Amino acid sequence: MTPNQQSDAALALCRMAPVIPVIVVDDLSHARPLAEALVAGGLPVLEVTLRTDCALDAIAAMAEVPGAVVGAGTVLTAAQMKAVKDAGARFAVSPGATAALLDAARVEELALLPGAQTCSEVMALLEQGYHVQKFFPAESIGGAGALKSIGGPLPQVTFCPTGGITPELAPGYLALPNVACVGGSWVAPKALMQAGDWAQITDLARGAAGLAR
């Protein structure tokens, strides 16, 4: 899979819903009901971050849920890239990009959202064929205004901004022509997961799925 093909696949995923839930699973028993709740609310593309010991098992469990398209976030190394593919991930997301990470994603044939912050980083990835990228940490580095400015000289790059985005801020990003979707953690809050309130999570997902692009 070439970088251009990886970006094409990533763009198709980004267009499935306006929000990709960014998920931290602390308790493996939450994985399947959480995925079911999010899919029921209209958010099929799920990013499980590699920030907990059970993350790989959570990916495997969620991948079994009908309608769920599960990927891995916070992928930092080539070894992690292989591990998430083996667990059933269909895409990978990274806060940045290294040569080793990009090589591993090509070998594993995973759709990839490599992270970039600056025009130089965006251009370096574009030069390799990555025309769909993650903008992270979005709110800390200028937010929607920064992405709008980047879109001037680099309109051929499409982004999934992530980091500090709330339901109130999301529409400002989604209104931009160079944004395909946003990543957000607000649809899977820890408190609701611990309470097992999957119905409320479905309601949050439904609200996110209804955001205009």
208 domain-assigned: no
- Residue 147: give its domain's CATH number: 3.20.20.70
Q: Is residue 158 part of a domain?
A: yes
CA–CA gap between residue 210 and residue 43 (Å, rounded): 10
- On whether residue 25 sits in a domain, the answer given is yes
In a domain, 206, yes or no: no
Q: How far apart are CA 64 and CA 59, in angstroms?
A: 9
Q: Judge whether 76 lies within some domain.
A: yes
pLDDT, position 68: 98
pLDDT in tens, 96-130: 999 999 999 999 999 999 999 999 999 999 999 99
Q: What percent of the chain has pLDDT over 70?
A: 100
In the chain, how many domains are there? Answer: 1
In this prediction, residue 188 carries a pLDDT of: 97
**Which pLDDT belongs to residue 213?**
84
Output DSSP code: residue 199.
Answer: H
H-helix or E-strand containing 72?
Answer: strand 69-73
CA-to-CA distance for 27 and 193, rounded, in angstroms? 9
Catalytic residue annotation = 47, 134
Give residue 134's domain range. Answer: 3-200
Expressed in angstroms, the distance from the first to the final Cα of the chain is 29
**191 assigned to some structural domain:** yes
Q: Which residues of the chain, if any, have pLDDT below 70?
A: none
Considering the domain boundaries, does residue 179 fall inside one? yes
User: Would strands 111-113 and 19-23 be described as parallel, antiparallel, or unpaired?
Assistant: unpaired
pLDDT at 209: 98
Residue 209 lies in a domain: no
